[in-house]
C-alpha cells in the first residue's frame, strides 16, 4: 500500500491518495492538538498513534454491531486505510450529559444527565467557527437532504446505544461525542473521520476525572497519560 499525493491536511490528520486505487485513502494521524477553533495549539508526541489505535478498536466494535464505517484496516502506528468518501459538512454531536458549549449556551447545570439524549448539527466550517444549525439550515444550504439528515440522526443514536454500555464496562462515562459521515461512490452514508478522546468526552465513572481533550482545552495537562488510560481500558 503506497501513498501518492497529499489530498488534504486538517487539524488532526493528513489524507493521502493511494497509488493505483482511487477508492481508498490513507489517513495519517498527527500529534497536533487544537482547541477553540484552533485558537489554542500545541503538540503531544504519541497522541496521533493513540487516536489511530483507539479509533481502530472503536470502528471495529461498531462494524460488529451493524454500523457501516469507512474503516478498512490499520496500516501502521499512525496510518489507517479508509474508503474514500465525500464528507458531509455537518458535525453530528451526541450529548448524554450537559457540559461544555451546551451549558454556556443554555445555562443548563453542568453534569446534568440529558433524557432523552440530545443530537445536534454543526456546520463544518472553521472560518465560521462551526456554528450550530437546524435541519432547515442544512437543507437550505444543500448540505444534505431531509432524508439524509434523518439517517445521520438514526446512525448517531445507534452509535450511542452501542458505545454507552461498551465504555461503561471499561469504567468510562461517555459524556458526549462528535461524529462525521461521508457518502461513498454509491451514495451510501458511512461513519467517517475518527472516534477518539479528541472527539469524545470521557469521565472516569468513580472519580469524574476527565480523560479526553478537555485536559488540553482547560490546561489540566497529562494529555498523553489520559489517552493511554482510555486505550488501556478499552483493550483490557
- pTM here is 0.96
In the chain, which segments carry CATH 3.30.200.20? 3-83
Mean local confidence (pLDDT), 181-197:
97
pLDDT, tens only, 36-79:
877 899 999 999 999 999 999 999 999 999 999 999 999 999 99
pLDDT at position 2, please? Answer: 85
**What's the fold here for domain 86-222?**
D-amino Acid Aminotransferase; Chain A, domain 1 (3.30.470)
Query: How much is the pLDDT for 168?
Result: 98
Domain 3-83 has CATH 3.30.200.20: yes
Q: Looking at residues 82-86, what average pLDDT do you find?
A: 98
Give the single-character DSSP code of 59: H
pLDDT at 165: 98
pLDDT above 70 covers what percent of the chain?
100
Query: Residue range 3-16: average pLDDT?
Result: 95
For residue 1, pLDDT over 80 is answered with no
- pLDDT for 38 equals 77
Amino acid at each position: 500500500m503506497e501513498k501518492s499525493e497529499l489530498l488534504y491536511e486538517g487539524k488532526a490528520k493528513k489524507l493521502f491518495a493511494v497509488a493505483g486505487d482511487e477508492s481508498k485513502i490513507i489517513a495519517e494521524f498527527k500529534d497536533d492538538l487544537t482547541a477553540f477553533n484552533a485558537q489554542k495549539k500545541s503538540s503531544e508526541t504519541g497522541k496521533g498513534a493513540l487516536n489511530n489505535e483507539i479509533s481502530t478498536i472503536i470502528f471495529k466494535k461498531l462494524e460488529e454491531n451493524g454500523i457501516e464505517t469507512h474503516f478498512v484496516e490499520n496500516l501502521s502506528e499512525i496510518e489507517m486505510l479508509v474508503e474514500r468518501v465525500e464528507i458531509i459538512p455537518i458535525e453530528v454531536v451526541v450529548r448524554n450529559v450537559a457540559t461544555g458549549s451546551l451549558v454556556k449556551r443554555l445555562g443548563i447545570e453542568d453534569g446534568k444527565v440529558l433524557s432523552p439524549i440530545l443530537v445536534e448539527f454543526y456546520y463544518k466550517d472553521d472560518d465560521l467557527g462551526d456554528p450550530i444549525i437546524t435541519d432547515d439550515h442544512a437543507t437550505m444550504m444543500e448540505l444534505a437532504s431531509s432524508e439524509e439528515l434523518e439517517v445521520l440522526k438514526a446512525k448517531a443514536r445507534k452509535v450511542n446505544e452501542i458505545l454507552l454500555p461498551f465504555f461503561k464496562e471499561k469504567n468510562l462515562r461517555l459524556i458526549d461525542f462528535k461524529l462525521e459521515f461521508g457518502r461513498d461512490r454509491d451514495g451510501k452514508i458511512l461513519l467517517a473521520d475518527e472516534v477518539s478522546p479528541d472527539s469524545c468526552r470521557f469521565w472516569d465513572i468513580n472519580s469524574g476525572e476527565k480523560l479526553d481533550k478537555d485536559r488540553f482545552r482547560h490546561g489540566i495537562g497529562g494529555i498523553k497519560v489520559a489517552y493511554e488510560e482510555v486505550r488501556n481500558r478499552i483493550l483490557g
